[in-house]
Amino acid sequence: MKNLCGIDEAGRGPLAGPLVVAGVVLLKEIIGLNDSKKLSEKKREKLFDEIIEKSKYHIVFKSAKEIDDFGISFCIKNSILEIMENLKEFSSSFLMDGNTNFGIQTLQKEIKADAKYSEVSAASILAKVSRDRYMVEISKDYEKFDFKKHKGYGTKAHIEAIKKFGRSDIHRVSYKIKGIDDKEIYKSLF
């Protein structure tokens, strides 16, 4: 019997950095799994290594440029299809956290699946930790933005940095920022 493959993403809403989508088929039980947002960073890091050891998994990164060029939904769908292709040997049942299957007929969906199914919890953790590690790693190349603190999300400090320095090459230009982009739109009307 093939096992369930859980799928989840991290980074749908940030102003900078990649979208990360992970798929996980657990081979052994892991204690302590939960929605990554409900776990401390320390707990997520510990579970990340255990998930890698005890599963078949696939992680997909989509850059800010890909998100700008193709849209977030396309990038999520494309990532899910890549995961399904890479893990089909280990699973014929795929479950995504959320309320949409992105038009993929063989993809099941369930709201809060990341808190209900170990496989989706594990995918949530792999996606979140992978993205956070990436943002911390590149932070040294973008010191003005302090990505290691906010991971690209729209915190007050991050928005202030964008106002001061403009967007970097890893910012999503298709994501409009209140207080910045609405002024530019207003200016273009006159």
pLDDT tens for 75-107 read 999 999 999 999 999 998 999 999 999 999 999
pLDDT tens for 18-67 read 999 999 999 999 999 998 989 999 999 999 999 999 999 999 999 999 99
Mean pLDDT of the chain: 93
Helix axes 118-139, 41-53, angle to 10 degrees: 110
End-to-end CA distance of the chain: 65
Considering the entire predicted model, what is its pTM? 0.92
User: Using CB atoms within 10 A of its CB, is residue 140 exposed (0-12), middle (13-18) or buried (19+)?
Assistant: exposed
Model confidence at 186, pLDDT cuts 50, 70, 90, reads very low
Domain boundaries, the chain: 4-139
Give percent above pLDDT 90 in the chain.
87
Closest alpha carbon to 37 in 152, 129, 117, 111: 129
pLDDT tens for 158-181 read 999 999 999 999 999 999 887 787
Was domain 4-139 assigned CATH 3.30.420.10?
yes
Q: What is the CA radius of gyration of the chain?
A: 18
